[in-house]
Structure 1
Amino acid sequence: MRLSKLFKNAPTTNVTGLSFDSRKVKPGDVYFCLPGLTYDGHDFIDDALDKGATCIVYSRDLKEKRPGAIYVRVQDVNAAMNQCARLFYQKPSDKMRMFGITGTNGKSSVANIIRAIMNLQEPTGYIGTIGIDYGDQHLMPDLTTPDALFLQRTLNDMVTAGMKDCALEVSSHGLAQGRVDGINFDAAVFTNFTYDHLDFHGTMENYFDAKSRLFKDRVKADGVCILNMDDPRFKDLERLSKARVISYGINSEADYRAIDIQMTSTSSHFNLVHQGRLYPVMTNLVARYNIYNLLAAIAALHETGMPLDRILPACEDLPQIKGRLEQIDAGQDFHVIVDFAHTPDGMEQMFQFGRSITGENGDVIAVFGSAGKRDVAKRKVFGELADKYCDLIILTEDDPRDENPREIASQIREGIKTTNNLYIEDRYEAINQAISSAKKDDVVLILGKADEPFIYRETGRSPYIGDNVAARECIEALKK
C-alpha cells in the first residue's frame, strides 16, 4: 500500500507493514512511536530506522531527524495507528457482522455461545481470552483484546478465510487503550459490572467509563446494544448508548426474560418471555449466571437477524467452553469443576453453585490463589467468600509474578476465620491434594487459571498443563 493512502500529503512510498515494536520492525514498515506505561516508542526511532522502517509516525518534538527518512507528525499516535491499521488491512470489520462483548464476567461464555450458534448458519470467528478461533485455525493471544495492529490483521485473515461474523471480547483495558477504535460493531453486549481491575483503572467510575465507551462510541447507528436489565448500571448504559437498546434479565421485566428456571448439576430449563410469548428453553449450561449469559447471546443473535426457532434448539447442546465451569468427569463419585473465576463476583458465583450441587453430606473444597502484581484489596475478599461457602480451602500459586506466593496466600487468609485451610505452593500438588481429600458427593472447585497453559512467575512465563488437564490426571491417578 502507498503511504499516501494512509496519510494526506504523504509521499507515494510503498508500505509493506505496520509496527509499534522496534524489535519487530521489518524493511518497508511504518513505525508508530507509541507511548506506553513503561516505555516510550519515541526512544527507539533509531532502532526502527536501522531495521529498515520506511516511515516514522510520532507526536512529540524530536531532537533530530535522520536524512532521507520519512516522518509524519500526528497529535495522537495511537489514534493514527488504529486508523492506519483499519485502512492497511482493507477495513476487515466492515466485511463481517461484528459482535462486541464486554463486562466484568461472562465475556468468554457469551462470545463462544454466539459463535457456536452462528456457526450453524455461517462461518464465524472468535477473539478473546480463550484464544482466536476461525475455520480450522486456533491461536493463543497474549491479551483478551489484542493490540490494534494484531487485531486488524487477524480480522483480515478471518475475512480471507471466509468468515461472515466475528464475536470479539472487548476488555476494559482494550477500550481504555483504544484497541478497538478501528471497529464499528453491529451488536454490543453488556454482561455485568462488578469489582475488578482497579490496579489499572484506579476507581470503579474509571472502570465503568472504559466499559461504557463500547456503547457510546463503537456501535453502528443502525446497530443494537444488548444490556443486562438486572445490573445496577443498566440505566447509566441505556442513557449513554447511541444505538437501539434491548434488555435481558431474570429479576426484572425485560425484552428477553427467563422465568420458571429449573437447574440441575448437568442442565437447565426455563421459559423465555419475549414480546408477550413464552418459549421453552432447554440447555446443557448450568448455574444461574449462565442463564444470563445465554439470554445475552439469544438477544444478540435474534436482534441481528437469526430467528428464535433456529437459536433455541441450538441451546440444548452447546459445546463445553474450556475452563468455564468445566466439569471434569473421569468416573469419580464426586464433582470436580474448573473455572476461570478470578473476581469477587465470579468467585462467589462459583462457591454458590458448588454449594447448590453438593450431596446431603457433601463438602465444598476450593483450590485458588490470587495473581501477583494485581489488585491486592480483593485478596482478603476472596478469603471471606471462601470462608462463607467452603469446608476446606487449599491456597496455592496463581500467576504470582515477582511476589511471594506464600505472602499472597497470607493476605487471602486474613479473610478466613473458621474454615480449615492449608497452603500448597505448587499448583499441581494443590489440585492433587484437593482431589485426594474428596469423598462421595463432595464438590472440588479449582478456580483462577482454567485451561491457561502457563503461569507467570518471577522468571517470566512458565509452561503449565492447565487446571483442567491437571485435574483429570489427578483423578486418573487416584483411581489407579
Structure 2
Amino acid sequence: MKLQTTDLARILGVDVPPVEGPLVAVTNASQDVVPGGVFVAVKGFTSDGAKYAPAAIEAGAQLIVAEEPVGDLPTAVVPNARIALAQLAVAFAGDPSRDLTVYGVTGTNGKTTSSYVLHAILATAYGAEHTGLLTTAEIVVGTQREPAIRTTGEAPTVQGNLARMRDAGVTHVVLETSSHGLHLHRVLGTHYAAALFTNLTRDHLDLHGSMEDYYLAKRTLFERTTGPKLANGDDEWGRRLADEIDGTLTFGAREGSAYRIEHVRREGTGTVFDLTRPTGETLTLRMPLLGDYNVHNVAGAAAITLEMGMPPATLIDAVAEMPQVPGRFERIPAAVDRGFEVVVDYAHTDIGLRAVLEVAREVVTDGGRLICVYGAAGARDAAKRPLMGRVASELADVNIITTDDAYHEDPAAIADEVMAGADPADTTIVLDRRDAIATALGLARPGDVVVVAGKGHERVQHLPTGDVDFHDATVVTELLTG
C-alpha cells in the first residue's frame, strides 16, 4: 500500500519532512530497503539502527524514522521507534488483521503445540486453504508451509505475513505471540479476536529482568483481545490473569475451572480425557499425543474454539485427527526397526525438560533406559543451567550434555555450568552435538528411549564461530539410516 507523507504524519503524530513521490514500504533492516521505502532506525540490544541510515538512503529509502535527528538526512523524529515501526507496518500492509480472525497464543511452555493444535482444529472446521499459522516452527499460509525465523518476527514481517494470508483467502489465523513480540511492540496494532495463555515459568529473564515483568508482558495480549480469553487455571500466573482481566475463563484439572479436565487416561499411543464445559456438557477428546502437558495444550485450544462457537462434533473429530507437532515430542520413525524410540523435543528449560522426560519415562519398555542428550543456550538466563543438569540426572538413566545455541559464549563453559547441577555418575559431556547424538544412539538398545532436547524444530545452530545448518530430527535419521 502506498502512503504519502501526510499519511505518515497522521499515523505517527509528528512532523514528517516532504519527500519525492509516494512511500511504498517500511523496514528496520537496511538490507531490506526498497526504492521509495521508509527506514526505521531502531535502537537494538547491541547497536543503534541510526548508523545504518546512510546506507538505507543510498539503497533508495526516502525517509528515516528515528528517536532523534540523523545528521542532515530527512528524518521524522518519534518518541519510540519500535512503536512507530509497528504503526507503519500495519498501515503499509493495509491493516490485514482487521479482515482476519486472529487467535493469539502466549505462555512459556506449550504455546507452539497449542498453536498447532488450534490450527489443526480450525483447518478441519474451515478448510486448510482458509487457515494460517505463524509459529516458532513454521509459517503456514493456507496449504503452503515454510520455516519460520523466530517466534514472533519484527512488525513488518508479522503484518506482511498477515497480509499474504488475507490476500490468499485465509480467514482464520493462529499467531504464536511471544513475550519478545509483545514487549518489543512487534505485534502492536494486530487485532486479536481470541487469546490463550498456557503457563509461565522461568525463561527470558535476560530480557524482562523479573518474573513480574515477564508476566506483565504476557498480560498485554489479554488486554488487547476483544473476544474470548482462556488461561490455564492450573498455573498460578494463569489464575492471576483470570482475576485481573475481565472475561477471562480458566481451563484445567483444578476444581472451579470453567473448562474442567477429568478422567485422563492413556490409550495406545495417545491420550483420552473428558472436558466439561461451563454449560455442564462433557466432551470426550481422543488425541494422538502423550503427556499431561499436552492434555492442557489440547484443552486450552479446544476451549477457545468452543467459546468462538465451534460445534462440539467438529472439535472432537479435529482433535482425533491432528498431526504430529514438529520438534515437540517428535518421534523419529527410523528408530522403530531398532527396537527403541528416539524423541526430539524443544525443551530448553528445566521445567520443559522435566515435562518431556516424565512423558518419555512412560514410553520406556521392557526394563529399558531413558537416555537424554541436552544442553543450555548461551546469551540467555544462566541460572537455569545447573537446574537443567539436576532435572536430567533425576529423571534419566544416562545423560549427555552437549552444545545448544552457544552464540558468543564458550560451549565448554556452558556445559560446565550445566554439569554443576548434574550427577557425574550418570552424565558425560560431548560438546559436538552430532557426536553427542551419535553416542546416545550407539548406547541405545531395545526398550530404551532416547530424548534429544533443546532445539526441536530449529534448523540452524548458533555458535561462536558462526551459524551452521543443524536439524536434530534430520541428524538422528541420518545416523540411524546411514
User: What is the TM-score of this pair, normalised by structure 2?
Assistant: 0.93
Partner of 1:454: 460
- Whether contact under 8 Å (1:264, 1:286) holds in the other structure is no
Deviation of 1:375 after TM superposition, in Å, equals 1.5
Amino acid paired to 1:204: M
1:303-342 mapped onto 2 (5 Å cutoff): 303-330=307-334, 331-342=337-348
Partner of 2:3: 2
Whole-Å separation in 2 of the counterparts to 1:196 and 1:378: 8
Deviation of 1:419 after TM superposition, in Å, equals 4.0
Q: Which of 273, 276, 291 is the matching residue for 2:280? A: 276
Q: SS state of the match for residue 338, structure 2?
A: coil
1:237-386 mapped onto 2 (5 Å cutoff): 237-242=241-246, 244-264=247-267, 266-274=269-277, 275-330=279-334, 331-386=337-392
Partner of 1:210: 217
Deviation of 1:370 after TM superposition, in Å, equals 0.9
Partner of 2:117: 113
Whole-Å separation in 2 of the counterparts to 1:189 and 1:340: 20
**Residue 135 (structure 2) pairs with residue 128 (structure 1):** yes
Aligned length: 468
- Whether contact under 8 Å (1:29, 1:55) holds in the other structure is yes
Gaps of 5+ in 1: none
Q: SS state of the match for residue 291, structure 1?
A: helix
**Residue 27 (structure 2) pairs with residue 26 (structure 1):** no
**Residue 165 (structure 2) pairs with residue 158 (structure 1):** yes
Q: Which of 376, 392, 410 is the matching residue for 1:404? A: 410
1:33-52 mapped onto 2 (5 Å cutoff): 33-52=41-60
Deviation of 1:187 after TM superposition, in Å, equals 0.7
Change (3 A) 1:265 1:380: farther
Whole-Å separation in 2 of the counterparts to 1:475 and 1:42: 49
Partner of 2:440: 434
CA deviation map 1:224-264 (0-9, x unaligned): 2110011011232123325x212110233322222111025
Change (3 A) 1:265 1:288: farther
Deviation of 1:41 after TM superposition, in Å, equals 2.2
Change (3 A) 1:45 1:407: closer
Amino acid paired to 2:481: E
**Residue 415 (structure 2) pairs with residue 391 (structure 1):** no
- Whether contact under 8 Å (2:371, 2:397) holds in the other structure is yes
**Residue 149 (structure 2) pairs with residue 145 (structure 1):** no
CA deviation map 1:277-334 (0-9, x unaligned): 2222211111110000000110111111211111012111211111111112332212
Partner of 1:54: 62
User: What is the TM-score of this pair, normalised by structure 1?
Assistant: 0.93
Whole-Å separation in 1 of the counterparts to 2:142 and 2:384: 39
Deviation of 1:40 after TM superposition, in Å, equals 1.6
Tell me whether 130-139 or 183-192 shows the greater mean CA deviation.
130-139
RMSD after superposition: 1.7
- Whether contact under 8 Å (2:370, 2:450) holds in the other structure is yes
- Whether contact under 8 Å (2:232, 2:239) holds in the other structure is no
Whole-Å separation in 2 of the counterparts to 1:235 and 1:322: 29
Q: SS state of the match for residue 120, structure 1?
A: helix
CA deviation map 1:152-204 (0-9, x unaligned): 11110111111101101111111110111111211111000111111221211
Change (3 A) 1:32 1:418: closer
1:199-238 mapped onto 2 (5 Å cutoff): 199-216=206-223, 218-220=224-226, 223-238=227-242
Deviation of 1:47 after TM superposition, in Å, equals 2.3
Partner of 2:99: 95
- Whether contact under 8 Å (1:34, 1:78) holds in the other structure is yes
Amino acid paired to 1:80: A
Deviation of 1:418 after TM superposition, in Å, equals 5.7
Whole-Å separation in 1 of the counterparts to 2:481 and 2:60: 54
Percent sequence identity is 33
- Whether contact under 8 Å (1:15, 1:30) holds in the other structure is yes
CA deviation map 1:55-109 (0-9, x unaligned): 22222245x424xx4x322222222221121111111011110011000011111
Gaps of 5+ in 2: none
Deviation of 1:360 after TM superposition, in Å, equals 4.5
Deviation of 1:49 after TM superposition, in Å, equals 2.0
Amino acid paired to 2:32: K
